[in-house]
Amino acid sequence: MLSAKWNEVPWIAGTDARKSRDLLAIPSVQGVWGIKNPESTFASVVADAQAVEAEFVGRVGDNEENIQQVRRIITEMLLQAAWDKDQPFETCLQYWHDLQALGFYRLERRCLKTGLFAVICQHYGHTDMGLALLEPLLADLERLRAEPTATKQEVDYYDYELESLHKLRARLEAQRG
């Protein structure tokens, strides 16, 4: 039942993970758990996520890279679901820690999820934590932008992320007072 929605994901079927599409970009993925459905509970989202994770970890066999990728994607979705479903800060924090332990597979995901968690910190009044998360990411983006080998496309991307994250940092600093 759930697996039919995932058949379009190439690396789940055993192809190379580096050539796969981003699972999070597939519209049906978040729909699998009803993350955006106001009637679904967080508990049901977690239960569905655990079932999907177990199924797809089994599908990828002994390939540690793909197992790690499945777990990252599930954890990213659960962090988003915790926020969307108004879970306590401690629940969001646990998923954030889980995600950090798994690591980010792309800079874009690190920017997106760090920004999300900084917003969560802002919402729950953990301003200093949100600022502490943003600072190393901003420094990394600035460093990458200044690399002599950075292409125009990369610089444009870094500028885009920097603008967004600087605005978020300003909001956090204003909240701190």
pLDDT > 90 in the chain, percent: 63
Q: How many residues are present in the chain?
A: 177
> pLDDT category, 5, cuts 50, 70, 90?
very low
Cα 13 from chain centroid (whole Å): 22
Is 0.85 surpassed by the pTM of this model? no
Instruction: Report whether pLDDT(16) > 80.
Output: no
Task: Mention every residue, 6+ apart, whose C-beta is less than 8 A from residue 48.
Answer: 2, 32, 33, 34
What's the rounded Cα separation, in Å, for the pair 99 and 117? 11
Is the confidence at residue 55, as pLDDT, over 90? Answer: no
Confidence of residue 161 (pLDDT cuts 50, 70, 90): very high
Alpha-carbon distance of 149 to 66, in angstroms, equals: 30
Instruction: State the Cα–Cα distance between residues 161 and 156, nearest whole angstrom.
Output: 9
Predicted confidence (pLDDT) per residue in 60-75, tens digit: 888 899 899 999 999 9
Does residue 13 surpass a pLDDT of 70?
no
Helix 107-123 vs helix 64-84: crossing angle, to nearest 10:
30
Per-residue pLDDT of 85-111, as tens digits, reads: 999 999 999 999 999 999 998 999 999
Instruction: Output 39 or 69, whichever has higher pLDDT.
Output: 69
Average pLDDT, the chain: 83
Q: What is the C-alpha to C-alpha distance for residues 52 and 88, in angstroms, rounded to an integer?
A: 24
Q: What is the largest CA-CA distance in the chain?
A: 51
